[in-house]
Structure 1
Amino acid sequence: MKDFSERYDLHTHTTYSDGTFTVRELLNRAKYLGLKGIAITDHDTMEGIPEGKKISKELDLDFIPGIEFSCSYEGYEIHILGYFLNEKSEKLTSKLIELKKARKERNEKIIKKLNNLGLKITVEEIEKEATGAIVSRAHICNVMMNKGFVYSKGEAFKQYLGRNGVAYVEKGSSNPLEIIKLIKECNGISALAHPSLVCNSREKTEKILDILIEAGLDGLEVEYSSYTPKETKYYRQLATKKNLLKVGGSDFHGGNRTGVDIAKASIGKEEIGIILEKGYKEE
């Protein structure tokens, strides 16, 4: 087994959003693999963080409380990771309630489209599928598979739920500039997640990155499960060039993203010193 004793996976998801591992299952897996530390970065929710803090102490794991905000900018889907946010912030609480409501409204519209296509699914069924606070397209997909409407996740997203699918509904996403400002106001650290997925043009991605930096972005995800070695080198150099913190992780979703295990991408302790120092001070 690879030595992860000084490694940190700063991008994982649990059943509180669209992952299939509970917080305990995720942290147990991280401990088994020998990781030094791990972050939980569920989509648009921090409900798993108190549990994560408690269990990580039991397991002697460094724990980095986090979140992943789904945003859009000029038609591009952009995800912003936040670490060590003040969870007691009223502005943060209000924002998370707003995002949960927006997801609920989107899901209802998707279900209506599916029903009109003869695929009978109810809100109650997808809420039962989702054990956490966030109900996503992944949960709708699972219900569709359970009912035999589709045979695979790929089919569900290609034909129905993906951007070109017949039941697709645009998500009322956050503005990343506002999210970066919110993270700052919550004394947190922000990073652009998986920049390779923003768009096919590195030139355009870098222009967007510069705009995010101007808004106060702190870091860039330089290690990611789908990066090639050339991509990893490029993003590491880009982070150095832009004077950004280097963060990274697997984007683990359990059974909802096959072939990606915890620690498939990770970074060393020295690369996240500022983040860890902030966390230790908080404790």
Structure 2
Amino acid sequence: MHTVYSDGKLSVADLIELVNYYEIEAISITDHDTLKSQREGLSLANENGIEYITGVEVSTILEGKEIHILGYGIDTEDSNLNHLFEKIRKDRVQRTISILEKLRNYGIFIDIKEFGSDFMDLNIGRPHIARKMLEKGWINNYDEAFQKYLYNNGPCYVPKMDVHPKVAIEHIHDAGGIAVLAHPGLMLNEKDIEGVIDSGVDGLEIYYPKHTEAQKHRFIEIARSNNLLETGGSDFHGREKDYKIMREHIVPYEIFEKLRRVYDQRKLNEKIEYR
């Protein structure tokens, strides 16, 4: 789940209210490359009787391909992890400025200050630019921004800071967390997945809205043959189509229980059982 602290559309409070409405028992907010939603998320979840585990989604690059690593159960005050995210935040701001400069070549003029006076503190990225383009009438729909201008290696694309999955995984582990490969069925092949497994990941996100049944079965095979944790998530961002996902793609509670159990075992330095 994502909030306005990264590329989501809902505030933390509004997201928790929605979770309550759908009677969801347990969640983790996993904003991209930031921990700013965690304190409020944990507090509001506790107030509403919702089980909560801290989370984040780290953007990494492996052999030129973008790969997201989820971190669950991390210490949100860990200095090394926060230092990494501060470096990424600064890179995101500079990257956004560079993308806006490229868009000017196509007659699309957006000043970075239009993202608000606190834009330097935003975990800003392409989704923010796409929404601003739509708001100003430069495009007809959100997807058009990516299809025409912002897609990977597209005319206005600027690469992210190069963080290797192994670096992200080590930072998550050092912060006491569990590292999981996010949505492996999106643009990753088995060689990519093997590369992330070799980097020390603890689990695979298997139960994901866009995964086919065939993909799920294959990822379960990979997870079990490598003794990896099987997890899932809604990837909720607050877009119109996400509400249907929220209603229909609720991950079974036992998946959360396994995640919590592994977190507790790691915290107590016990033998970890992924199944």
**1:170 and 2:159 matched:** yes
**1:240 and 2:224 matched:** yes
Q: Aligned in 2, Cα 1:278/1:52: closer, same or farther, shift over 3 Å?
A: farther
Aligned to 1:202: none
Q: Quick check: 2:113–2:119 contact (8 Å CA) kept in 1?
A: no
Aligned to 1:213: 197
The CA deviation at 1:66 is: 0.3
Deviations 1:40-78 (A, max 9, x none): 000000100000011001110001110001111012111
SS of the aligned residue for 1:197 comes to coil
Aligned to 1:249: 233
Aligned to 2:70: 81
Q: Quick check: 1:80–1:193 contact (8 Å CA) kept in 2?
A: yes
Unaligned runs of 5+ in 1: 1-11, 200-204
Give the distance between the partners of 1:61 and 1:279, measured in 2 at CA: 18
- Report matched runs for 1:38-187 at 5 Å: 38-127=27-116, 133-187=122-176
SS of the aligned residue for 1:190 comes to strand
When the two structures are aligned, how many residues end up with a matched partner? 266
Give the distance between the partners of 2:20 and 2:173, measured in 1 at CA: 31
Unaligned runs of 5+ in 2: 268-275
SS of the aligned residue for 1:40 comes to coil
My pick for the range that moved more, 112-121 or 184-193, is: 112-121
Q: Aligned in 2, Cα 1:131/1:250: closer, same or farther, shift over 3 Å?
A: farther
**Matched residues, percent identical?**
34
Deviations 1:181-224 (A, max 9, x none): 1111111000000101143xxxxx33333332233211100100
Q: Quick check: 1:127–1:135 contact (8 Å CA) kept in 2?
A: no
**AA of the residue aligned to 1:17:** S
Q: Aligned in 2, Cα 1:152/1:134: closer, same or farther, shift over 3 Å?
A: same
Give the distance between the partners of 2:56 and 2:47, measured in 1 at CA: 22
Aligned to 2:245: 261
Higher relative contact order (CA closer than 8 Å, sequence separation 6+): 1
Q: CA RMSD in A?
A: 2.3
My pick for the range that moved more, 208-217 or 31-40, is: 208-217
**AA of the residue aligned to 2:234:** S
Give the distance between the partners of 1:127 and 1:256, measured in 2 at CA: 24
Q: Quick check: 1:19–1:256 contact (8 Å CA) kept in 2?
A: no
The CA deviation at 1:117 is: 2.5
